[in-house]
Amino acid sequence: MNRADRIRSQIEAQLAPTHLEIDNESHLHAGTREETHYRCVIVSESFATLGLLARHRHVQSLLQAERDAGMHALSLHTFTPAEWAKTGVAPASPNCAGQNH
């Protein structure tokens, strides 16, 4: 199972998302990093009682094993279903200072 699959498995088991996007953005960064930079868009009713910082802390704690195993960056975009219904889109990740272009 690759890192994206492990991330998906953890998030689906713990947050029951109604929408989930997991993008490996490692190729956008300098060096030979494989499976080190991820962008996640998570829509879950479980975020309804949490502020933005608490949502991010919760997801970070769910994925701590991946961080310990070498995941360098995690861009999180967390929404409730009602918030997602208003926008339906998450911002793109910012460019890395060492980006290959």
CATH number of 3-86: 3.30.300.90
Task: Spell out the domain ranges in the chain.
Answer: 3-86
Kindly report, residue by residue over 50-96, the tens digit of the pLDDT.
999 999 999 999 999 998 888 878 889 999 999 999 989 888 876 66
Average pLDDT on 6-32 reads: 87
pLDDT (tens digit per residue) in 36-51: 788 899 999 999 999 9
Q: How many CA atoms lie within 13 A of 16 on its CB side?
A: 3
Q: Given pLDDT bands bounded at 50, 70 and 90, which one contains residue 31?
A: low
> 10 Å Cβ neighbour count for 37?
20
Q: Is the pTM of this model over 0.95?
A: no
pLDDT in the model for residue 97: 60
